[in-house]
Amino acid sequence: MSVRLISLLILVRLAILFLLDFSFTLTMLCFIIVYSLCQEEILSKFLVSESLYDQPGLAAIARKQAKAADLLGRTEEEQRKSGYFHTLREILQQPATWLETGKELSSMSDALLQTIAGARTLVLTGSGSSEYAGECVRLPLQRRLLIPAQTIGGGMLLTHGGKAIAPLRPGLMVSLARSGDSPESVEAISVVLETEPEIRHLVVTCNAEGRLATTYRDDPRVKVVVLAEQTNDRSLVMTSSFTNMVLAAAFLGMLRTPDQYVSLVQNLSQKAEELMRTHFDTLADIAIRDFDRVVFLASGSRLGAARESALKMVEMTAGKVWATSETYLGLRHGPMSAVHSDTLVVCFLSSQPLVRAYECDLIRELNDKQLGMAKLIFGEDIPADLAQNNDVKIDCGGLSSLGDENIPVLDVILGQLLGFFRCLKEGLEPDSPSNDGVINRVVQEFKLHRAED
């Protein structure tokens, strides 16, 4: 074969390769142009609209979790029609709102030091979820402040007044409330102000226009802290309001170390984002299983989160799924008899060695007795033998460094999402699950009584 012919064949081959390459390049260029033009529409279909929520974190969750992409990718009108617009947004906004609360509270350290100065006893009060928020912080506040701390329901203060409070004075009463408009809110403070002059008051609320905030705004005996407006949940159920009040109250134990407090809140926020970004769909799948009751198990401060999680399940299913909470050791004293084949057992597993030893023993006992339909275990470095065939482990690194007393706000996110997804399965609307109006966002007015003189 001549050199000229060989050269010609090489040129033809190169020409073909060039044309093929040019065709591919042209195709890719057209694709890029079309994608750029349609990108906004594509994102609106498959991801949450960041302009709607003003929270890039929600888009990050939607990119990782298919169920989140489905729910958040719908239009605002569709979400409102399905009845979950507020509840889902308020659950998922928590990491962002925690940062705002941390910043806001840390700037108040000097004023709050004056409020708590000299107190010999601490009372945390609220009603329903607000009472459970107090339970989440009672033990760490008692440890850090070195004074007795109690959690007393607002109803108890209405019926028993100062008799319910430990007899140490002076004291500080911290009233927690989302709206501040429930009948107990103002009346509980009023009763204690009249009968216990040596008790000062701190109000933590999410509603600047509520009666609890406005009634005592100019009262020198009462310090009022109003959290950011976005924490004032519009949904019937409390979600972001709950966790933000927990974090706000927790600051009372860290008033002299505000930078450490801000760092803790940042770490919790990051961990919450990670939890939702990796296990949103996991919780959705668990929530639709065939169970009729749920038992939430926890120890120490995390029992407050267990109680709140149980309430979320009952509220959001209108009682179609019954839920309760108990300590691990307390379960043996009767409540274990209610753990049947229709029962989901949710275990908030401690990172403290002594506490964990007792908790693991109880979980193994449930396994040996074959009690419950399935277990959901949330903790760090979960022993492999605790989970059996139908069980689910959510192993979350870093919990031990955060400490058990600081993570009820993470525990309760699991409870919120389980309740949310079960609500949808039951055909109810998370924003207003009580179709018959049995319960409302704010407890309706009822007659208030006073002891006869």
Is the pLDDT reported for residue 196 higher than 90? yes
112 in Cβ contact with 255 (< 8 Å): yes
Report the Cα–Cα distance between both ends of the chain, in Å, rounded: 123
Find the mean pLDDT for residues 242-249.
98
- CA gap 431, 88 in Å, rounded: 9
Report pLDDT for 60: 82
Report pLDDT for 25: 45
Find the mean pLDDT for residues 119-133.
97
Report pLDDT for 442: 60
Which has the higher per-residue pLDDT, 29 or 245? 245
403 in Cβ contact with 265 (< 8 Å): no
Report pLDDT for 408: 98
- List the structure tokens of 129: 């979820």
Find the mean pLDDT for residues 407-421.
98
State pLDDT tens for residues 87-123: 999 999 999 999 999 999 999 999 999 999 999 999 9
State pLDDT tens for residues 307-358: 999 999 999 999 999 999 999 999 999 999 999 999 999 999 999 999 999 9
Q: What is the pTM of this model?
A: 0.87
Which has the higher per-residue pLDDT, 11 or 53? 11
Q: At 59, is the pLDDT very low, low, confident or very high (cuts 50, 70, 90)?
A: confident
Tokens 């979350």 identify what position? 396
- CA gap 106, 90 in Å, rounded: 23
- List the structure tokens of 166: 């430990």
- CA gap 400, 379 in Å, rounded: 9
Closest to 345 (Cα-Cα) out of 368, 373, 375: 375
State pLDDT tens for residues 140-151: 999 999 999 999
Is the pLDDT reported for residue 65 higher than 60? yes
* 3-state class (DSSP) for residue 451: coil
- CA gap 152, 165 in Å, rounded: 8
In Å, how far are 132, 187, 219, 253, 424 from 192, measured between CA atoms? 20, 9, 14, 23, 42
Q: What is the mean pLDDT of the chain?
A: 89
Which has the higher per-residue pLDDT, 40 or 297? 297
> In this prediction, what percent of the chain has a pLDDT beyond 70?
85
Q: At 158, is the pLDDT very low, low, confident or very high (cuts 50, 70, 90)?
A: very high
- List the structure tokens of 1: 């074969």
State pLDDT tens for residues 32-58: 444 344 433 333 333 333 333 346 677
